[in-house]
Amino acid sequence: MMMQRVRWLAIAMLGLLFASVSAQAEEPESAIKARLAASIPGLEILSVRPVPEAGLYEVETNNRDMLYTTADGRFIIVGDMLELTAEGVSNVTEAGRSGRRAEVLNAIPETQLVSFAPEGEVKRTLHVFTDIDCVYCRRLHDDVPRLNELGVKVNYYAFPRSGPGTPSFDKYVSVWCADDPLDAMTRAKAGRSVPDARCDNPVQSQFELGRTLGVSGTPAIILEDGHMIRGYLPANELAKGLGLL
């Protein structure tokens, strides 16, 4: 009888120990969220993840910059974390951003996009944040037929750099709301007029999404793995990078 009581007592103590360890494992994330929320009003914390190699926690927020904090949230580092490896310098933060970009963009339905797809097999997909009035965005659009020919689909996301309430922003709305958005996009990119049109549209939300994903200029070309190419590249150079040439 005594041995049985000792056995049950040991089991109960082990249960309390495991519960205590689990609670402690959750404490840093909770402490970080609480401290940041109290110190920086309006900051929306999207995720908190440990970076064991650095002894820090990565905090993703509604702000474009990544935060790194100590376990208690007392000390904060803002910016990209770099790792020195045998192969050179690796941007740990950008690698994380790429994964999140891919996850977010691949979840957006095509009904929310202006997409130029090849007639045959789609071999690769490019997600492009574009401004209709951007010179290099227009040059990229001139390359779309060649990209389609090579099996590349181009998904356009709205990023009129001048922001809401400007002619460029309104022009994108008119393109999206046109009876034939593909034709309207091509006309607008060529500098031709597009009839004013209004409807429920994703232009504002895509503009905000671009800022969240780190888009600062156009064109911003995002590959299927989430890697971002900042600026224009000719079609054949893009195709070589994608392994199509």
Catalytic residue among 124, 133, 161, 177, which? 161
Instruction: Tell me the C-alpha distance between 34 and 41, whole Å.
Output: 11
131 assigned to active site: yes
Reply yes or no on whether 192 is catalytic.
no
Catalytic residue among 137, 138, 143, 177: 137
Q: Establish whether the linkage from the previous residue to 219 is cis, with ω within 30° of 0.
A: yes
Number of Cβ within 10 Å of residue 155's Cβ equals 19
To the query of whether residue 35 is one of the catalytic residues in this protein, the response is no
Tell me which residue of 204, 199, 191 sits closest to 160, measured CA to CA. 204
208 CB-contact burial (10 Å; exposed 0-12 / middle 13-18 / buried 19+): middle
Residue length, the chain?
A: 245
Contact (CB, 8 A) for 161 and 218: yes
Task: DSSP for 109-137, please give it.
Answer: -GGGSEEE--SS---EEEEEEE-TT-HHH
Percent helix, strand, coil in the chain, to 5, is 45, 20, 35
Query: Looking at 101, 124, 134, 177, which residue is catalytic?
Result: 134
Catalytic-labelled residue, pool 97, 101, 131, 177: 131
Catalytic (active-site) positions: 131, 134, 137, 161
